[in-house]
Structure 1
Amino acid sequence: MTRETVRDLAAMLKQLSPRLDPDRYRYVQIEPSNAAQLLGAAIATFREEEGVSAIVPAAIADQADIDGADMARITLEVYSDLEGVGLTAAVATALAVAGIACNMVAALNHDHAFVPAARSAEAILILQNLAARHS
């Protein structure tokens, strides 16, 4: 089912509907020695000049003996248009004001904010308040 996407910033923020994923994730580098284990579990990958980066469940990273910061994923349930302007900036700015790091990942249907797991409850409240201010 395809939903109509929203391009207007005020409408995107009004429909933000942030949802906190209970799982924890970690950004990792894919190496030949761990590719089979990590690629199958990855929820996102990106090829850079230095190699392939992936976002994998923290439990899988632990199994592969890869340390790193545990991140929480907040899915922005709004169906934002890929050409919509300002959603990433508004979300990142709202979190930055509170001193919360935010790594945004845009997918076809939704945008996802990855924040430090320890601050995920605070981050979800900030984004809920952002949406409420535009309702």
Structure 2
Amino acid sequence: MTGICDLGVLLRDMRPELSQKKYVFCTLAIDAFKALADCTPLCVFHEPEGVSLIMEESMAMATGLPYDGTYRKITLQVQSSLQAVGLTAAVSGALADQGISANVVAAYYHDYIFVEMETADQALDVLNRLSLA
């Protein structure tokens, strides 16, 4: 798979899509994570302090995992290359200019931005405008 590296094309074709689901960030010790056999988070990242999870709010509530804040996921539909330079900076910079916190995850095919529930619609508008610039 060859993703797009050209920043102009990435921005023009990013087609941001806002999920209606609510997501949360959780953390727990590795042993506690291993005990959650039925838990299927969207993202798992092993850090020195423990395991960080991104999951739907309903799953965190069902498993009793504590979290702080609720987020919405914006998917950039453009298929970016892992070697692309500047997409994260352009997106997070545009959001930062509007005072919107952006938690960015770059996966193999797409980039995802988690924004606070209260700013989700505004964030989508900012990204759509960036795509048209």
Structure 1 match to 2:13:
15
- Of all paired residues, the percent bearing the same amino acid is 34
Deviation of 1:42 after TM superposition, in Å, equals 0.4
Structure 1 match to 2:79:
79
2 CA distance for matches of 1:34 and 1:96?
33
- RMSD value, Cα: 1.7
List structure 1 segments (4+ residues) > 6 angstroms apart after TM superposition: none
Unpaired runs of 5+ residues, structure 2, are none
| SS of corresponding position for 2:81 | coil
Between Structure 1 and Structure 2, how many residues are aligned? 131
Which range is displaced more, 59-68 or 10-19?
Answer: 59-68
Change (3 A) 1:20 1:51: same
Change (3 A) 1:104 1:85: same
2 CA distance for matches of 1:42 and 1:115?
17
Aligned counterpart for 2:28 among listed residues 15, 27, 30: 30
1 CA distance for matches of 2:102 and 2:39?
25
Change (3 A) 1:53 1:124: same
Structure 1 match to 2:58:
59
| SS of corresponding position for 2:79 | coil
1:104-119 equivalence runs, <5 A: 104-119=104-119
Amino acid at match of 1:7: C
2 CA distance for matches of 1:36 and 1:25?
21
2 CA distance for matches of 1:27 and 1:58?
9
Aligned partners of 1:38 and 1:61 also within 8 Å: no
2 CA distance for matches of 1:38 and 1:97?
41
**TM-score (normalizing by structure 2):** 0.91
